[in-house]
């Protein structure tokens, strides 16, 4: 492990993956994601299969080259799950998970249904799995998720097992302020270590760390400053999460932040900064295979 770490640290370029979450939630997100993919600015797309715009956008996702873009399942229990009865606010999901009060049979059924919906629409397994609002790492959820992966994809020893998002964050210096560093720490504390141990036990790969956590406030200049700090702190194998989108007039509490992210990620300055900081953007499955 140490030798691998040293090899990564001394490579000529740092390799990271930029991932857009929430594809399928509404048309504006779908359009923004596909535009950024076309520009080569993102290399992973997290699909919310219960989202209102999933069916309309799934065909376009199915046409993307799986070698060039990782399309993953954005496991959702808090906004648009397939079984309406399982939907719960994030705070309730966290509380019930840690109190051991989740309905295991219902949760297992929901996880399977979301995998089925993804595979039916794209004709292939997801390249990875993460969670809407990071629910994939919660107690019980993470165990059922890994069980489902092992049941569905026994060919994992040939390298075809989907990878799992690790929410472990970078050090304080990677964040523009203490508040967003604290938010990143809270997210990681909700299950990143336990999920990592479970993944290691079953030889399921993960990204190194998660960049991109913030409170969705500020203008384009503020987001740009955050982004440059994340890029500066990035290490090989890191995942940079974003929530880009275009406005559609639909109710979306993140609409302004989504448009700002889209504008900054789609800018020439972003491409120049990536090159200046000696970063190579690649799908995570390629980075993991090169370890």
Q: 128 pairs with which residues across the strands?
A: 163
Positive or negative: CA dihedral 275, 214, 110, 82: negative
CATH number of 15-289: 3.20.20.370
Closest alpha carbon to 223 in 263, 179, 254: 263
Q: What is the DSSP string of 143-157?
A: HHHHHHHHHH-GGGG
From the list 41, 5, 47, the residue with the least C-alpha distance to 22 is 47
CB distance 247 to 259 below 8 Å: yes
Rg of the chain over all Cα atoms, to the nearest angstrom: 18
Q: Tell me the pLDDT of the chain (291 aa) as tens digits.
A: 434 443 444 457 899 999 999 999 999 999 999 999 999 999 999 999 999 999 999 999 999 999 999 999 999 999 999 998 999 999 999 999 999 999 999 999 999 999 999 999 999 999 999 999 999 999 999 999 999 999 999 765 455 799 999 999 999 999 999 999 999 999 999 999 999 999 999 999 999 999 999 999 999 999 999 999 999 999 999 999 999 999 887 789 999 999 999 999 999 999 999 999 999 999 999 999 987
Name residue 33's beta-bridge partners.
none
């Amino acid at each position: 492990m140490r030798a691998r770490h040293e090899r990564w640290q001394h490579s000529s370029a740092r390799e990271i993956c930029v991932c857009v979450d929430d594809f399928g939630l509404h048309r504006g997100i779908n359009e923004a994601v596909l535009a950024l993919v076309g520009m080569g600015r993102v290399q992973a797309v997290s699909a919310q299969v219960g989202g209102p715009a999933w069916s309309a956008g799934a065909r376009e996702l199915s046409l993307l080259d799986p070698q060039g873009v990782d399309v993953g399942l954005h496991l959702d229990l808090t906004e648009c799950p397939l079984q309406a009865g399982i939907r719960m606010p994030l705070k309730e999901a966290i509380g019930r998970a840690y109190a051991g009060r989740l309905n295991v049979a219902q949760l297992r059924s929901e996880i399977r249904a979301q995998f089925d919906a993804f595979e039916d629409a794209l004709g292939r397994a997801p390249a990875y799995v993460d969670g809407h609002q990071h629910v994939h790492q919660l107690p019980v959820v993470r165990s059922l998720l890994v069980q489902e992966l092992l049941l569905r994809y026994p060919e994992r020893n040939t390298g075809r097992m989907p990878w799992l998002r690790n929410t472990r964050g970078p050090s304080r210096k990677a964040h523009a302020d203490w508040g967003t560093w604290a938010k990143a720490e809270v997210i990681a504390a909700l299950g990143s270590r336990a999920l990592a141990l479970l993944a290691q036990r079953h030889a399921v790969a993960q990204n190194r760390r998660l960049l991109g956590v913030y409170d969705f406030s500020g203008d384009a200049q503020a987001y740009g400053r955050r982004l440059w700090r994340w890029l500066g702190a990035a290490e090989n194998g890191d995942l940079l999460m974003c929530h880009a989108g275009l406005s559609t007039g639909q109710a979306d509490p993140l609409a302004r932040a989504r448009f700002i992210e889209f504008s900054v990620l789609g800018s020439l300055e972003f491409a120049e900064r990536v090159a200046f900081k000696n970063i190579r953007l690649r799908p995570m499955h390629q980075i993991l295979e090169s370890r």
